[in-house]
Amino acid sequence: MTDISPAALRGAVDLSTLRNRPSAPPAGAPAAGGAVPDLVIDATDESFGQILEISRTVPVVVDLWAEWCGPCKQLSPIIEKVTRELGGKVLLAKVDVDANPQLAQGFRAQSIPMVVALIAGQPVPMFTGAVPEQQVREVFAQLLQLAAQNGVTGTVPVAGDDGSAEADAAPAEPPMPPLHAEAFAAIEIGDYAAAIVAYEKALAENPRDEDAIAGLGQVRLLDRVQQLDLQEARAAAAAAPLDPEAQFAVADLDLAGGHVDDAFGRLLDLFAQLPSDQRTPVRERLIELFGVIGAADPRVISARNRLSSLLF
């Protein structure tokens, strides 16, 4: 990201329909005393008017995500971690684009993950796609500088930080398995090759480790797309419609950008056109991408059904 300024999103974001509407308090929004139960809150179409008001006190980082989005699952924990470390200087509002279509439309979220900040109600670009932790930290530092330049320098207090019994009663999260922790640490610094090795070791120990299966698919996807150029990949795929590698590149980019049906459809069409002795790599890539999105996702179920019909 090279331009962290409101001008960079001029014309690209339209929040006018959400700015002046009556709004229900978002879960975790400041109460009368200004405190929030958490620095990470869920924002909805109905509550976003209040989120805009909060951005006059502290910068609000808006994370547009979806349950099926593999790269979102890599980026969101990093953003949450950095937000909490800032101790109330930034509030994080998470937006499930599937459940909140008006917000997705207002931010013109063509692909996710998409992360945009709000300073005094004005949108500021941050990230599109998964990025390593060091870049996240650098951009958050730029965000705080820009907020200070615009007079937004408040701090939002967190209820329970006074050591109340309610805060002490919060259950501790179970520790992450060592190889999963190793993989996650590698992802945070952008070392996808090391993360792949860690997940492969975890699967060697337990082939039914569903988290490792999903994590391996996600990090392989991130590793493949980081050096790809979308326009070049699409041109290569158009020039070689039966070349699996060319089609894989576009499907990966589509999936990473949230265009799940497009990715699956491209590979299923390729599978249908190839001779039976050339289909195995395409089937294996589809199965890997199914794991990234999740077996229960309706798009995966539909694509699996079509794949089964093509096989038999």
pLDDT tens-digit series, residues 232-242: 999 999 999 99
pLDDT tens-digit series, residues 241-253: 999 999 999 999 9
**What pLDDT shows up at residue 1?**
40
pLDDT at 274 over 80: yes
pLDDT tens-digit series, residues 15-63: 544 544 444 444 444 443 456 678 999 988 887 878 888 888 899 999 9
Looking at the DSSP assignment, which residues form a beta bridge with residue 158? Answer: 36
Give the confidence band of 160 by pLDDT, cuts at 50, 70, 90: low
More confident residue, 13 or 267: 267
pLDDT tens-digit series, residues 96-128: 988 988 888 888 777 788 899 999 888 888 887
Is 69 known to be catalytic?
Answer: yes
Task: Give the residue-averaged pLDDT of 208-230.
Answer: 86
Task: Give the residue-averaged pLDDT of 64-76.
Answer: 88
Residue-range domains of the chain with CATH: 6-149 (3.40.30.10), 178-311 (1.25.40)
**What pLDDT shows up at residue 30?**
47
More confident residue, 170 or 143: 143
Catalytic residue among 39, 43, 52, 72: 72
Looking at the DSSP assignment, which residues form a beta bridge with residue 27? Answer: 42
Task: Give the residue-averaged pLDDT of 76-95.
Answer: 92
Mean of per-residue pLDDT scores for the chain:
82
Catalytic residue among 36, 51, 69, 146: 69
Give the confidence band of 12 by pLDDT, cuts at 50, 70, 90: very low
Quote the percentage of the chain above a pLDDT of 90: 35
Is 284 known to be catalytic?
Answer: no
| DSSP output for 48-61 | HHHHHHHTTTS-EE
Whether the Cβ atoms of residue 143 and residue 79 lie closer than 8 Å to each other: no
| DSSP output for 153-193 | -----BTTTTT-HHHHTSPPPPPPPHHHHHHHHHHHTT-HH
pLDDT at 8 over 90: no
> Hey, what are 266's tokens?
């491209």
pLDDT tens-digit series, residues 278-293: 999 999 999 999 988 8
For 64, phi and psi rounded to 5 degrees? Answer: -90, 120
Whether the Cβ atoms of residue 143 and residue 59 lie closer than 8 Å to each other: yes
